[in-house]
Amino acid sequence: MLLSVVVPCYNEEENVPAFYEEFLKNTPFFESEGLEFEIIYVDDGSKDATAGQVRRLHERDSRVHLISFSRNFGKEAGIYAGFQKAKGDYVVMMDADLQDPPSLLPEMFSWLKKGYDSVATRRVTRKGEPPIRSFFARMFYKLMNRISKTEIVDGARDYRLMTRQVVDGILAMCEYNRFTKGIFGWVGYETKWLEYENVERAHGKTKFNFWKLFLYSLDGITAFSTVPLAISSVMGVLFCLCAFIAIIVLIIKNLIYHDPVAGWPSLVCIVLLVSGVQLFCVGILGQYLAKTYLEVKHRPIYLVKEEL
């Protein structure tokens, strides 16, 4: 049996060897289980010596592989590339920064043996994270689960062990806008959730700032829900209704009480409000159209510069 480990890396020169060392600590377990492994580092257009570090490891150990992108395509593209290259009967994806502890693998395997198709992890605490970020993250998961049929678990990490069947399911989803958390939920299969305490990054800084995460969450919403479109339609109907009622009230006031409503301030407010709502709805529509545009272009998800 072969286990493929997919590790997306963006500027992780210090973490590449550290991850390798840490991963090898599982060797006794792998031997007892009769498991071979391959580590696929996906260098996502790093500007530091990440690719060089992987090359050095590859020379020492042929089980280490490298896919190097022509530029930074994002973590989602890295995961997809790694999955395409993975030959394993089982595939696990892990961050390079050791926030996904390899020591959890034996436990994860034990659940696969019990018949689960995939073992996922979620962190129970958001320790070491700015409170504002935690707040928005929680809001996002709440909102997402309201408006999307696909289940997206709060605090879920991308650390997951899967059988070949699940991986093939994910590979069949060849969309350009990849929101992995949603894709996992979409493919389904029996998933066991393991919980663990948040671990701090081994070296370097996080690659996701607040703004990047915010945009990513918008991607997630447009990729896995069309409820915003429905909301904008409902808003249109509501505003028409309001206008209709207002017209009737005005007519009655004028005809019966001879009290014409005067004043342009009220008019200006209404015009501003309605045009604001219109722009907002057109914006929502635009988001979906933009995503559709990107999809229909059928651009490759990533381009490879070097492969080992």
Residue 44 or 117 having the CB closest to ligand UDP: 44
3-state secondary structure of 208: coil
Residue 16 or 162 having the CB closest to ligand UDP: 16
Stretch that binds ligand UDP, among 7-15, 159-167, 192-200, 282-290 (CB under 6 A): 7-15
Does 19 sit near ligand UDP (CB under 6 A)? no
3-state secondary structure of 117: coil
- The 198-217 contact track toward Mg ion, x by CB under 5 A, reads ---x----------------
Inter-residue contact 45 to 229 (CB < 8 Å): no
Q: How many other C-beta atoms are found inside a 10 Å radius of the C-beta of residue 62? A: 10
Q: How far is the CB of 215 from ligand UDP (least distance, A)?
A: 12
- Strands of 211-303, DSSP E: none
- The angle at the Cα of 110, spanning 106 to 115, to the nearest 5 degrees, equals 150
Q: Which does 78 bind (CB under 5 to 8 A by kind): ligand UDP, Mg ion, none?
A: ligand UDP
Q: Of 269-298, which residues contact Mg ion (CB under 5 A)?
A: none
Q: Which does 13 bind (CB under 5 to 8 A by kind): ligand UDP, Mg ion, none?
A: none
Cα–Cα distance, 120 to 249 (Å, whole number): 58
Strand partners, 3: 37, 90
Q: How far is the CB of 112 from ligand UDP (least distance, A)?
A: 23
Q: How far is the CB of 99 from Mg ion (least distance, A)?
A: 4
- The 80-99 contact track toward ligand UDP, x by CB under 6 A, reads ---------------xxx-x
Cα–Cα distance, 302 to 74 (Å, whole number): 9
Among 6, 26, 39, 74, binds ligand UDP (CB under 6 A): 74
Inter-residue contact 106 to 35 (CB < 8 Å): no
Cα–Cα distance, 74 to 207 (Å, whole number): 10
| Structure letter (DSSP) for residue 160 | E
Residue 120 or 284 having the CB closest to ligand UDP: 120
Stretch that binds ligand UDP, among 24-32, 71-79, 231-239, 261-269 (CB under 6 A): 71-79
Cα–Cα distance, 226 to 128 (Å, whole number): 34
Q: Of 82-101, which residues contact Mg ion (CB under 5 A)?
A: 95, 97, 99
Q: Which does 226 bind (CB under 5 to 8 A by kind): ligand UDP, Mg ion, none?
A: none
Q: How many CA atoms lie within 13 A of 11 on its CB side?
A: 8
Our CA dihedral for 282, 284, 290, 291, rounded to 10 degrees, sits at: -160
Does 8 sit near ligand UDP (CB under 6 A)? yes
Stretch that binds ligand UDP, among 68-76, 114-122, 223-231, 244-252 (CB under 6 A): 68-76
Token pair for residue 294?
Answer: 């990107």
Does 44 sit near ligand UDP (CB under 6 A)? yes
Token pair for residue 247?
Answer: 């017209």
Residue 78 or 169 having the CB closest to ligand UDP: 78
- The 181-210 contact track toward ligand UDP, x by CB under 6 A, reads --------------------x----xxx--
Inter-residue contact 268 to 223 (CB < 8 Å): no
Binding site for ligand UDP (CB under 6 A): 8-10, 12, 44, 72, 74-75, 78, 95-97, 99, 201, 206-208
